[in-house]
Amino acid sequence: ASGARVPVLVIGTGYGGAVAALRLAEAGIPVHMVEMGMAWDTPGPDGKVFCGTLQPDHRSYWLRTRTKAPLNYFIGFPIDRDIPRYTGVLDAEEFAGITVYQGRGVGGGSLVNGGMAVTPRRENFASVLPTVNAEEMYSVYYPRANAGLGVGAVDPAWFESTPWYQYARVGRKHAQRSGFPFVFVSDVYDWDYMEAEAAGTVPKSALAGEILYGNNHGKRSLQRTYLARAAATGRVAVTPLHKVTSVAPASGGGYTVLMEQLDTTGAVVATKALTADRVFFAAGSVGTSKLLVKLKATGALPRLNDEVGRGWGDNGNVMCGRANHMWDPTGTRQSTIPCAGIDNWAAGGAFAEVAPLPTGIETYASFYLSITANPHRARFTWNAAAGRVDLDWQTAWKQPSITMARSIFDKINSTEGTIYRTDLFGAYKIWGDHLTYHPLGGAVLDRATDNLGRLPGHPGLYVIDGSLIPGNTTVNPLVTITALAERNIAKLLPTDF
Helix axes 142-149, 15-26, angle to 10 degrees: 100
CB 273 within 8 A of CB 34: no
Shortest distance, position 3 Cβ to ligand FAD, whole Å = 19
Catalytic residue among 174, 217, 434, 438: 438
User: For helices 142-149 and 478-496, what crossing angle results, to 10°?
Assistant: 110
Q: Three-class SS of residue 255?
A: strand
**Nearest-approach distance from CB 102 to ligand FAD, in angstroms:** 5
Looking from the CA of 87 toward its CB, the CA atoms found within 13 Å total 21
Query: For ligand FAD, which is the closer residue by CB, 41 or 362?
Result: 41
Element containing residue 341 per DSSP (H, E):
strand 340-344
Q: How many CB atoms lie within 10 A of CB 146?
A: 18
Q: Read off the DSSP letter of residue 429.
A: B
Q: Distance of CA 437 to CAs 82, 319, 408, Å?
A: 22, 11, 21
Q: Give the chain's largest Cα–Cα span.
A: 72
Nearer to ligand FAD, 60 or 418 (CB): 60
- Between the CA of residue 16 and those of 13, 19, 75, 185, 216, what are the distances in Å? 7, 5, 39, 22, 23
**The pairing of beta strand 77-78 with beta strand 73-74:** antiparallel
In the bound state with ligand FAD, the residue whose beta carbon lies nearer, of 276 and 291, is 291
DSSP 8-state symbol, 124: G
Strand 340-344 relative to strand 435-436, pairing: unpaired
Is residue 151 within 8 Å of residue 339, measured between CB atoms? no
d(CA 361, CA 34) in angstroms, rounded, equals 42
Q: Which is nearer to ligand FAD, 101 or 345 (CB)?
A: 101
The nearest distance, CB 488 to ligand FAD, in angstroms, is 12
Q: How far is the CB of 149 from ligand FAD (least distance, A)?
A: 10
Please indicate whether residue 135 is annotated as part of the active site. Answer: no
CB of 346 to ligand FAD, least distance (A): 20
d(CA 334, CA 126): 36
Task: Kindly report the length of the chain.
Answer: 497
Taking the C-alpha atoms of residue 23 and residue 158, their distance in angstroms, rounded to an integer, is 36
| β-bridge mates for residue 319, sequence order | 369, 432
* Nearest C-alpha neighbor of 148 from the set 283, 14, 22, 284: 22
Nearest residue to 180 via CA among 367, 355, 363, 354: 354
Q: What angle do CA 360, 89, 210 make, to 5 degrees?
A: 20
Nearest to 166, CA basis, from 125, 207, 199, 205: 207
Active site residue 174: no
- Shortest Cβ 185–ligand FAD spacing (Å): 9
Catalytic residue selected from 35, 197, 210, 353: 353
Measured from the CB atom, is 215 or 330 closer to ligand FAD? 215
CB 416 to ligand FAD: min, Å: 26
Which spans of this chain sit near ligand FAD (rule: CB under 6 A)? 11-16, 34-37, 101-105, 108-109, 112-116, 212, 243-244, 282-285, 287, 291, 437-438, 465-466, 476-478, 481
Shortest Cβ distance from residue 418 to ligand FAD (Å)? 26
Catalytically active residues are 353, 438
